[in-house]
Amino acid sequence: MAPSRKALPPVGTITRGTTGVNRLRRSDRWLVNDELVSATLRESATPLVVDLGYGAAPWTTFELAARLRTVRPDVEVVGLEIDPARVVEPRDGVRFARGGFELAGLKPTLVRAFNVLRQYPEDAVPDAWARIQSNLAPDGLLVDGTCDELGRRSAWVLLDRHRPLSLTLAWDPFTVDRPSDIAERLPKALIHRNIPGERVHTLLTAADQAWERSAAMAPYGPRIRWREAAETLRANGFPLRAYPRRMRDCVLSVPWDVVAPSGPA
């Protein structure tokens, strides 16, 4: 499906455009392993994915397309950028167009918006989410995330057309000292909420405590230690998602209500 012919003025502002090869690999790996995301792609009659705000170069858009094709070989991927200077010619089955939160008139099955809302004020997030959600396909999903420059620390919110569904943190097991180190890369909706009294702070504090209690597993490597810490968190009442296959990354995924902000920005 080509970008809509209907001329819609792009909604949003031009961001820095920082990007890098393989920077979003952790979220890509999660997307192809998440049951809801993969099922949504498989069951869509015409799977269309939008990579919103891919930045100064489209490397991560091509990587996203390649990884999603392992789930749905006929998936169509469209990269949207609000800066017209960043829109490039089609390549490797991926199209590009100018667009913002209005999604250029498209109705995608999945939207990935990484390191986009991080550059907006916190109180702009609800309207941006709502604009994107209103343009999703009926069963569509949105991933709003943030990561560091090398992609070693990453966090994202998964939403459907109506509400946030979950928060996921994923990090390189060998370059992160403790789970709360990911706090600096929380999505914009949560990054200012890592303070006492907020749910996300409670979760990260508990994750650090579970990590410390799992120190005896350190000789077996950080992945084994994190699996032990995750079991401790579950035993303490935190509903961490359990994945059927072991992940290369350390991953912490919880329902949104576990971390939802206590009030408006």
Domain CATH code at residue 137? 3.40.50.150
Q: Which residues contact 252 (CB under 8 A, 6 or more apart)?
A: 168, 169, 170, 179, 207, 230, 233, 240
Q: Is residue 159 part of a domain?
A: yes
Q: Is residue 167 part of a domain?
A: yes
pLDDT digits (tens, 9 = 90+) for 159-209: 999 999 999 999 999 999 999 999 999 999 999 999 999 999 999 999 999
Average pLDDT over residues 245-251: 84
Q: How confident is the model at residue 263 (pLDDT cuts 50, 70, 90)?
A: confident
Residue 91 confidence (pLDDT) above 60: yes
Q: Is residue 151 part of a domain?
A: yes
Q: Is residue 225 part of a domain?
A: no
Residue 46 confidence (pLDDT) above 60: yes
Q: Which residues contact 137 (CB under 8 A, 6 or more apart)?
A: 44, 48, 107, 108, 109
Q: Is residue 75 part of a domain?
A: yes
Q: Is residue 186 part of a domain?
A: no
State the pTM of this model. 0.93
Average pLDDT over residues 30-41: 96
State the residue range of the domain holding 150: 25-173+239-256
Q: Is residue 140 part of a domain?
A: yes
Number of domains in the chain: 1
Instruction: Note the maximum CA span of the chain.
Output: 60
Q: Is residue 124 part of a domain?
A: yes
Q: How confident is the model at residue 1 (pLDDT cuts 50, 70, 90)?
A: very low
